[in-house]
Structure 1
Amino acid sequence: MCVKVACVGGGPAGLYLAILLKLLDPSHDVTVHERDPEGSTYGWGVTYWRGLLDKLHEHDPESARAIDASSVRWREGVAHVRGLTTRRPGDQGHGIGRHRLLEILAARARSLGVRLEFEHEITPENLPTADLVVAADGVHSALRTRHADHFGTETRTGRNRYIWLGTSKVFDAFTFAFVETDQGWIWCYGYGYGCGFGPEAGTCVVECAPQTWTGLGLDTAAEADGRALLEKLFADVLDGHPLIGRAAPDGRAQWLNFRTLTNRTWHRDNLVLLGDAAHTTHYSVGAGTTLALEDALALAGALHEHAALPQALARYEQARRQALLSVQSAARYSAEWYENLPRYINLPPQQMFALLGQRHSPLLPYLPPQLYYRIDRAAGRLEALRRLKRRLGPKIARTVHARAPASRK
């Protein structure tokens, strides 16, 4: 239906939407406008799960194969608390360098005839002429901000401080490390992401309560000094590897408070929001890139199925809002779990790690942690028995039937 499409923002969402639109109809005129130079990115590694990879294979096998080949995988979670280590099996996770992901998507888009215009900033004053303008310009979207009242934009700022860092340490599992200091607890999430930064690399996200952040002097330290302190605090989990960061223009580290963003509506006339411009979910659930790519899938599908733009955009928004409900709820409870870490950190390591895995539960904040743990264990055993019964039930029935006396058959 759309003849000319302008995607503002060359992140995963904008690039993948451009790919999908050209695959659905090669006659579409699609341009991606990105303000930064090609090859520059301000992230480290991104995570995703098998379900997303299956969707990518379904809609564009070529880019999916390249993403798969450049990703690392893990099936375990590891938690380090007070010198103790606990491992738990889990679903297969994937990590890929953001730089490499963008490289794959940009190459694929070009091969399909998408125009990529780097170092080309689009503002509300110089919008390109197009049938559809896609605001894929991130959480600080200038296009959305111009019409914030229409979109009903709201943000909620989290309490804890966090910083996104790289490292040459290669993590063999999704790793959590909790360190107690005189100023309170500080912790990190670490995972590998393979190609993109180098032959082997990892991401390390560090988080702490505001009083710990100021107590350790991280609020005033120069970037290099703060990073050296973090390397010392997490020396065991990093195995002596350095952390890699980027200083702000004033020389300080780029510590942030996470901002959860929502919008009442996602479209206005021929302008539609995509990815972080439309919504954000706390980084502790590792869903940001997945949700952005799923937005692109939904928008491309709606544009292909509906001839009229208003109906297509309404369908896209309806479908994605519904899909996001459970993820946004999980992200909210996950963020709150970390903000209330003292409630859980003194549990025995096995219990603490189990509740770390249950942090998305809306019930957990309202029950004593050890009671929740016992209930969860009991429910798990019951579910295991139910699965065993479903698996063995038909076999037992056939055996009993085969052995029954003839008069009973």
Structure 2
Amino acid sequence: MAVKVVCAGGGPAGLCLAILLKRQDPSHDITVHERNPEGSTYGWGVTYWRGLLDRLQDHDPDVARAVERASVRWSDGVAHVRDLTTRHQGDEGFGIGRHRLLDLLAERARALGVRLEYESELTEPPADADLVVAADGVHSALRTRHAEVFGTEIAEGRNHYIWLGTTKVFDAFTFTFAETPHGWIWAYGYGYSDAHSTCVVECSPETFTGLGLDRMDEAEGLAVLEKLFADVLDGHGLIGRPGAGWLNFRTLTNRTWHHGNLVLLGDAAHTTHYSIGAGTTLALEDAMCLADALRTHPVLPEALTAYERRRLSELLSVQSAARYSARWYENLPRYIDLPPHRMFALLGQRHSPLLPYVPPQLYYGLDKAAGQLEVLRRLKRWLGPRAARALHVRARGR
């Protein structure tokens, strides 16, 4: 049955949902309202992993192919600490410019017959819509109107961060930690095109004020950061965005994600700390889950309840990982003086709920031993039951 869907927010979540609903039933009347002009977007590049492409392939192969073609990829991680560097091979990661991603999604949505209305902000649900989707970000106007019903809670993080771009194209996901007289400051860098990378800089409040970053204008602040990270920038500059200064990350949660025919999607429903690189992936997964629920549950309240239940369950482990990841960086002095390869290993384990409570050197040893045991378990499975029994007999005979 054709329905009228109105979506507030033309980011990845809103556009993806519009695409999927139109694919399910071309007779649906779908309009996406975006408050900003077409072509204007915040941020630089976003990251994702192969699993997202696989899920997109299941829902819309055309979008999956277009996104993969427009992405760059890497498989290594590099950490620079003082004058030492360590490199490790990891899972294949992808980067794509946020602007490029939105262009691809908007092009696909229009081709399917979705109406896109730019410079159009919804502040209240349209009375004639069957379904109203609030995909208008962390500051969602539609959610704010019913904040008590949704049970919205926002927790502000301790550290300061700023989202920047650079013409230095990193060949790996790059971490760099710089020591200053006022404490440590660090950056995460990753390529998203053949000409640009994203560079997120973070530091504690003490370092932020000690360096005077709280009192500098944009040009002065960028000059300080370029000097601090000169070794990894290789002469390239950092690029800011007018009006987008230093922030404290805000973790947003909601007790429920729907109210009547209004449903929350993406950052309007939840945020997870940027250090796990999952924001765009989770927004697109929300859209795929909601589209699935609306297809399999013809009664709207049942569909919205199924969507909420599934996503709240799936997000539990991700939100936990994000909290512990943010805490790892907030307690950086606990790990920074380890040998670089050990520090980088624990950086990879920063999602662990045990790590904050176990001495770092001890945790590293236990994790390494556990890894060796897993190798032995895999070898035993590979050899098969007969060979494993033979090894056991030999061991007993010694």
Q: Distance in 2 between matches of 1:309 and 1:340?
A: 45
The aligned counterpart of 1:330 is 321
Q: Distance in 2 between matches of 1:354 and 1:398?
A: 34
The aligned counterpart of 1:405 is none
The aligned counterpart of 1:57 is 57
- Identity among equivalent positions (%) equals 75
Q: CA deviation at 1:5?
A: 0.2
> Secondary structure at the residue paired with 1:219?
helix
The aligned counterpart of 1:82 is 82
Q: Distance in 1 between matches of 2:274 and 2:389?
A: 50
Q: Is the 8 A contact 1:6 1:128 kept in 2?
A: no
Q: Distance in 1 between matches of 2:7 and 2:301?
A: 18
Q: Deviations over 1:155-199 (max 9, x none)?
A: 1100000000000010100000000001110000000001xxxx4
Q: Distance in 1 between matches of 2:386 and 2:284?
A: 43
Q: Does 1:319 align with 2:318?
A: no
Q: CA deviation at 1:128?
A: 5.9
- The residue type paired with residue 141 of structure 2 is A
Map 1:2-41 → 2, pairs under 5 A:
3-41=3-41
CA separation of 1:224 and 1:381: change in aligned 2, threshold 3 A: same
The aligned counterpart of 2:138 is 139
Q: Is the 8 A contact 2:380 2:388 kept in 1?
A: no
CA separation of 1:70 and 1:391: change in aligned 2, threshold 3 A: same
The aligned counterpart of 1:177 is 176
- The residue type paired with residue 10 of structure 1 is G
Map 1:242-391 → 2, pairs under 5 A:
242-248=237-243, 254-391=245-382
Q: CA deviation at 1:98?
A: 0.1
- The residue type paired with residue 291 of structure 1 is L
Consecutive aligned runs of 4 or more in structure 1 exceeding 2 Å deviation: 126-129, 393-400
Structure 2, unaligned runs of 5 or more: 392-398
- The residue type paired with residue 202 of structure 1 is S
Q: CA deviation at 1:392?
A: 1.4
Q: Deviations over 1:287-335 (max 9, x none)?
A: 0000000000000010111111100000000000000000000000000
Q: Is the 8 A contact 2:321 2:352 kept in 1?
A: yes
Q: CA deviation at 1:399?
A: 9.6
The aligned counterpart of 2:153 is 154
> Secondary structure at the residue paired with 2:215?
coil
Q: Distance in 2 between matches of 1:2 and 1:27?
A: 5
Count of aligned pairs between the two proteins: 391
Q: CA deviation at 1:247?
A: 2.9
- The residue type paired with residue 181 of structure 1 is T
Cα RMSD (Å): 1.4
Q: Distance in 2 between matches of 1:129 and 1:300?
A: 20
Q: Does 1:214 align with 2:209?
A: yes
The aligned counterpart of 1:105 is 105
- The residue type paired with residue 210 of structure 2 is G
Q: Does 1:164 align with 2:163?
A: yes
Q: Distance in 1 between matches of 2:128 and 2:217?
A: 45
Q: Which moved more, 1:57-66 or 1:99-108?
A: 57-66
Q: CA deviation at 1:200?
A: 1.5
Q: Does 1:200 align with 2:202?
A: no
Structure 1, unaligned runs of 5 or more: 401-409
| TM-score, with length taken from structure 1 | 0.94
Q: CA deviation at 1:395?
A: 7.1
